[in-house]
Amino acid sequence: MTARTPLYAIPVPDSTTKAYQLGDELYAMGIGVEQALIAAGVPAATNQDRVVAATAAARDAKFGTPTTEAARLALQARGAECVRTDKGWTERYYATFDATSNPGGAPTAGWYPIAGSMPAFVCSTPVAQAVTGGWSIIAAAFGSPPAPDLNRGFRSFSAGVLTIEQPGLYDVVGNMVTTVNGVQSVAITLNSAAITAGLLSQAQVSGITAATPPRTVRLKAGDQLRLWGAAPSASTVQPASFLSALYRSA
């Protein structure tokens, strides 16, 4: 004899079930569970679409490069992920964000790191650089060529210009230490070789150290960050200064 569960009436074997009846009753129970899942709107289970690749080209050979929003949404819906052995992170594909139709998307469709060793950049100033009162890009203090403490996933850092490779949200911070006690100012600009444009963050203190407040900013591939300093006349930027940019999310 077959019993039934109280909520969904799924047939289950009971204490009176004979051994020779067990196969049929277990099959009936499986059908009952499936019908209950369908009634509850639970989607069918699918294997996650995942690949290990050492290059973007190898990844794209598996998943393709979607050229329409419908194709981008389809790739996102597959849960497409790639373990990038050349980068040290795992990335997932996101279609274009839409508050109504795709709230889980990204402002720019594409692949974004979600786990592992995320994109990060930190560079300290190994040598001194004179600053003469007005605003100056801190470039020479980073050395020529610069030798970042950490550069994972950034396109380049040259002449004081940090160029982004991986789009996403980043935490950006700059710090300046000088030799003369007085009013110190430090700033970071985005895509601007002039302090009067593209200002991301700025700080001014009295002492020898100034640091910008942490700023979370969305950056695109090709965006450029510059660290600026202003200090009392005849002051010098010291090796303890630094620029950092740490990836947060898509």
The answer to whether residue 22 scores a pLDDT higher than 80 is: no
Say whether both 192 and 130 belong to one domain: yes
Contact 1, 17 (CB under 8 A): yes
Write the CB contacts of 19 (distance below 8 Å, at least 6 apart in sequence): none
159 and 56 within one domain: no
User: Of 93, 116, 139, which residue is a domain's last?
Assistant: 116
Q: Is 126 in the same domain as 243? A: yes
**In the predicted model, is pLDDT for residue 47 greater than 80?**
no
Is 74's pLDDT higher than 80? Answer: yes
User: Which one is predicted more confidently, 192 or 41?
Assistant: 192
The residues near 137 (Cβ < 8 Å, ≥ 6 apart) are 160, 193, 226, 227, 228
Whether 172 and 102 share a structural domain: no
Residues 225 and 137 both lie in one domain: yes
* pLDDT average, residue stretch 87-96: 97
Asked whether residue 217 carries a pLDDT value surpassing 70, the answer given is yes
Q: Which domain holds residue 183?
A: 120-249
Q: Per-residue DSSP letters for 39-62? A: HTTPPPP----EEEESSHHHHHHH
Residue pLDDT, tens place only, 124-134: 999 999 887 78
- CATH code at 143? 2.60.120.40
What value does the mean pLDDT take over residues 44-54? 80
pLDDT the model gives residue 30:
77
Question: Are residues 137 and 212 both part of a single domain?
Answer: yes
User: Is it the case that residue 82 has pLDDT exceeding 70?
Assistant: yes
Examine the domain organization and report whether 124 and 245 are in the same domain: yes
Closest CA to 130 of 249, 230, 14: 230
Looking at the domain assignment, is residue 44 inside a domain? no
User: Are 172 and 209 in a shared domain?
Assistant: yes
Shared domain for 22 and 75, answered yes or no, is no
Query: What is the pLDDT, as a whole number, of residue 241?
Result: 94
Task: Give the number of C-alpha atoms closer than 13 A to the C-alpha of residue 99, restricted to the C-beta side.
Answer: 0
Cβ-based neighbour number of residue 120 at 10 Å: 18
Q: What is the pLDDT of residue 32?
A: 75
Number of domains in the chain: 3
Instruction: Tell me the pLDDT band of 20, cut-offs 50, 70 and 90.
Output: confident
- Mean pLDDT over each residue of the chain, to the nearest integer: 91
- Reported as a pLDDT band with limits 50, 70 and 90, residue 110 is very high
User: Both 86 and 193 in a single domain?
Assistant: no
pLDDT class of 27 with cuts at 50, 70, 90: confident
The residue among 159 and 11 whose pLDDT is bigger is 159
pLDDT band at 43 (very low <50, low <70, confident <90, very high): low
Average the pLDDT over 134-150 and give the result: 93
Residue 45 included in any domain:
no
Q: Which of 116, 139, 170 is a domain's end point?
A: 116
What tens digit of pLDDT does each residue of 169-192 get? Answer: 999 999 999 988 888 999 999 999
Q: Is 149 found in the same domain as 101?
A: no
pLDDT for 222 equals 97
Instruction: Calculate mean pLDDT across residues 18-40.
Output: 78
